[in-house]
Amino acid sequence: MKVFALMANPYRERMKHHMAAGDTVACHCFSPGCEAVALKEDGTEVPVLMGGCGMDDESEPTLLWTMRDISELKAMHEKVAHHERLAAIGQMAASVAHDVRNPLTGISGGVQMLLKQNETSAVQKMVLEEMLSLADRIEHTVNQMLAFSKRWEPSIRKINLAHFLEGIGEELGERAGFENIDFVFSGEKRLYVMADPELMRQVFNNLYQNAQEAMQNGGVIGTVVTRKADMAKVMIKDKGAGMQEEIIDRVLEPFYSTKREGTGLGLAICLKIVEAHDGSIRFTSKPGEGTTVSVTLPLGNQELRQLTNGEQTQKDTEGAERMDAGQNSAT
């Protein structure tokens, strides 16, 4: 089979050009090898490391090509970069939060003291109450920044996932804003995960809250619990306005929010908690068709990772280096 048939554009046309010109110097895929994109049988693109070398053949010039799938290696490098970004953002958030908290405490205390004075006029009281409300909002943001930067120390318990989620639904049903929301639960009833109940409660409270806010006129929030191999999967579905693809790509990023008064840290904290349980969060959505959030968690006696972002980065970096070494030795 010709190597061109396995390559995706623009690599295919570029290779044809260099080969037709006999230019093996400009075509870096010869002796040193190069990264390119190949095609699977079903047409799916996959990143590869490829290289070519000449073969002695009396009848006609022959080239031997090798291609190695590097999808796993690239995923590992992307994971390392992701944790490095989170580590840097976490350190910055902690530093800013501590610098803001102390003067904010003084401001709030001073405003509360002024509010207690009898000679305060109605206009002054209204202004002071607004100042106190704004200070509370800033304090909420500061607390979220500290939560995002903290090291999680989970208290592991055995959780029946279906019963746990149904309990959260019952609690939220009593809260303001959920009067017109119906919770519907289905799927597996006897799936158990080893997790921190309070941390996972924080995650699902946040996801259900987002679903409720997406349906301003009320509606049904569906929750499906399933099992796939050694993982439990929770799918939370709403029938809200949905999201565009560019929003889905960024929805888990720290400090990214589409809400007017959102901090952009709620889902970022959820992601950190779930990843500490060796799980994942994924959003799928289309405008006008609602949103589905999929949370996967390991089943059984999985040991939780109690790692800081820096420790996780070092762990992933070592894994990537080992894979790089394996690639080099194989070639």
Residue 176 — pLDDT band, cuts 50, 70, 90? confident
pLDDT(314) > 50? no
Between 53 and 42, the higher pLDDT residue:
42
Query: Do 166 and 184 contact (CB within 8 A), yes or no?
Result: no
pLDDT(307) > 90? no
Rounded Cα distance between 171 and 205, Å, is 10
Query: Do 153 and 189 contact (CB within 8 A), yes or no?
Result: no
For the stretch 158-169, pLDDT in tens is: 899 999 999 999
Residue 56 backbone dihedrals phi, psi, to 5 degrees? -75, 120
Cβ–Cβ contacts within 10 Å for residue 35, how many?
13
For the stretch 116-158, pLDDT in tens is: 887 778 888 888 888 888 888 777 777 766 666 666 667 788 8
Across the range 224-247, mean pLDDT stands at: 92
pLDDT(184) > 90? yes
Give the pLDDT confidence score for residue 182 in this predicted structure: 94
Across the range 293-316, mean pLDDT stands at: 57
Which domains are assigned to the chain? Answer: 3-69 (3.30.450.20), 74-149 (1.10.287), 157-307 (3.30.565.10)
Across the range 245-260, mean pLDDT stands at: 82
Kind of pairing between the strands at 62-69 and 181-187: unpaired
Rounded Cα distance between 272 and 252, Å, is 10
Rounded Cα distance between 37 and 225, Å, is 37
Residue 330 — pLDDT band, cuts 50, 70, 90? very low
Residue 50 — pLDDT band, cuts 50, 70, 90? confident
Kind of pairing between the strands at 192-195 and 157-160: antiparallel
Give the pLDDT confidence score for residue 75 in this predicted structure: 76
Query: Do 243 and 285 contact (CB within 8 A), yes or no?
Result: yes
Question: For tokens 């009848």, what's the residue?
Answer: 59
272 CB-near residues (< 8 Å, 6+ apart):
86, 148, 152
pTM listed for this prediction: 0.59
Between 247 and 25, the higher pLDDT residue:
247
Between 135 and 23, the higher pLDDT residue:
135
